[in-house]
Structure 1
Amino acid sequence: MSYVMGCVIPVEGSKRERFVEQARMVAPLFREFGALSVLDALQDDVPRGEVTDFHRSVAARDDELVAFGWIVWPDKATKDAAEATMMADPRMDMTDMAFDGKRMIFGGFDPVVDEGPGGAFTYVEGFVIAVPTANREVFVRHCREAAPVFLRHGATRLVECWGVDVPDGKVTDFARAVKAGPDETVCFSWIEWPDKATRIAGQKAVFAEMESTMHDNPMPFDGKRMIYGGFDVVSREDRG
């Protein structure tokens, strides 16, 4: 089973292009070290919530953008070995970083749902959720039943990941981002869309369909603490 390293990053607005440049520079190196795929995306439609949101998750300032991304590894052992190698590789020693690493949040996740054919996409919808740990199987079932709705309305892939190595941070972290309790697990998820226009049209159709069917598949988590948003893909590397 693959292993996903998910992250959310506060990017200085004035250094947007620098961030894109660095992401495209580093992605092939992760592949060289064994990663299956690498993706970085920048905020496009990221709302502010009453309780939680992506902006608060990384304590983003008004002049900062939020980035959402992931690295998929064959397994955790490959990721651990690669980290040791990368630390010693001078190509990974970049200066003038476009973001504040102290506020970046990251963690390791096991994919529990992966539905859809995949393929080309330029837009992702990202989610971070606090799920009662006791509801794991209910959560998986809920996501598997919901996936076909998104796929029917234009999404090409839906991935749901269960937190297995999500560290506490000194300033920010995933647990604080969704106000997760000790009996909850952080989940990292995304939906791939061909483009923003497809996502906009698809969302309307999905919401309309779910309004009539949601009572048969209620959310097994607190939706008020779920953080979500739409992101433009700026760098993507897949292992061929």
Structure 2
Amino acid sequence: MAYIDGFIIPVGKSDQARNTAFAERMDKHFIDYGATRVVECWGDDVSVGKVTDFNRAVQAAETETVMFSWIEWPDKATRDAAMKAMESNEAMMAEPMPFDGKRMIFGGFEPMVDETTAGTTGYVDGFILPVTPANRSAYLDMAQQAAGTFLKYGALRSSENWGEDVPEGKVTDFKRSVIAEGDENVVFSWVEWPDKATRDAGWEKVMADPDMQPPSEMPFDGQRMFWGGFKPVVDLK
């Protein structure tokens, strides 16, 4: 079964070239260790939320934006072996981070929904939200319906992933980012589009589609979900 590592990273708005070069160097290691795809996306349409948002998640300063990134693995065993092997990769470990690693958020996720069609990704919508285990089935039903609607209106892929290895961080982490309560878990999701224009037009159609009207009782707290639009800067396979 496929496995996903998801990341939210605070980066300087003026440092795109430096962060992209760093990501390209590091991501080649992930591919060498068995990853099937690595995608790094630069914040483009990342709005301020009333309760949560991407910038608050990593305590971003006014001079910073966020990168939304993920690594795809063929299975968790390959991912775990790769992470262990990388610990002894001196060249990789010696790379200085061009961002504050203490505020980077990361975690491992199991795919729940992955609907795709052919095309080259030129824009990404990223989502982070809290869902209780009791509501997982109801959320899955809603996510599967939404995925088909996104693809109908021009999306290339809709991926929904359930938190499996979501560690507690000293400064930031996924659960803190959505103000998780009780036994709530975190869902890491994204929608891929061919370009921003298709995304903008697609969202208008999605929101007007009667099949996308919210259920009478949502399976998660929408006020604590946050999302944003991102431009891919690295896409390795």
TM-score range, shorter chain: over 0.9
Report the CA distance between 1:130 and its aligned residue: 0.1
List alignment gaps of at least 5 residues for structure 1: none
Report the CA distance between 1:77 and its aligned residue: 1.5
120 and 217 in structure 1: CA distance in 2 versus 1, 3 angstrom threshold: farther
Alignment partner, residue 225 of structure 1: 224
TM-score, length of structure 2 as denominator length = 0.95
Q: Does the CA contact (< 8 Å) of 2:206 and 2:212 recur in 1?
A: no
Q: Deviations over 1:19-55 (max 9, x none)?
A: 0001111222111101111010010001100100000
One-letter code aligned to 1:188: F
Aligned residues: 237
172 and 215 in structure 1: CA distance in 2 versus 1, 3 angstrom threshold: closer
SS at match of 1:120: coil
Report the CA distance between 1:118 and its aligned residue: 4.5
SS at match of 2:229: strand
Q: Does the CA contact (< 8 Å) of 1:162 and 1:187 recur in 2?
A: yes
One-letter code aligned to 1:205: K
In structure 1, what is the Cα distance between the partners aligned to 2:188 and 2:207? Answer: 21
Correspondence 1:126-145 to 2 at 5 A: 126-145=126-145
Aligned-residue identity in percent = 49
Alignment partner, residue 32 of structure 1: 32
Report the CA distance between 1:147 and its aligned residue: 1.2
Q: Does the CA contact (< 8 Å) of 2:146 and 2:212 recur in 1?
A: no
1:158 aligns with 2:158: yes
Q: Does the CA contact (< 8 Å) of 2:124 and 2:193 recur in 1?
A: yes
Q: Deviations over 1:40-98 (max 9, x none)?
A: 00100011001000000000000011000001111221111111211212331344422
Question: Which range is displaced more, 79-88 or 216-225?
Answer: 216-225
Q: Does the CA contact (< 8 Å) of 2:45 and 2:230 recur in 1?
A: yes
Q: Deviations over 1:195-227 (max 9, x none)?
A: 1111011111111115x7515585311111101
Question: Which range is displaced more, 189-198 or 95-104?
Answer: 95-104
In structure 2, what is the Cα distance between the partners aligned to 1:23 and 1:135? Answer: 36
One-letter code aligned to 1:187: V
TM-score, length of structure 1 as denominator length = 0.94
215 and 203 in structure 1: CA distance in 2 versus 1, 3 angstrom threshold: closer
Report the CA distance between 1:119 and its aligned residue: 3.2
In structure 1, what is the Cα distance between the partners aligned to 2:38 and 2:142? Answer: 27
Runs of 4+ in 1 over 6 A off after TM superposition: none
Question: Which range is displaced more, 124-133 or 114-123?
Answer: 114-123
Q: Does the CA contact (< 8 Å) of 2:5 and 2:71 recur in 1?
A: yes
Q: Does the CA contact (< 8 Å) of 2:123 and 2:229 recur in 1?
A: yes
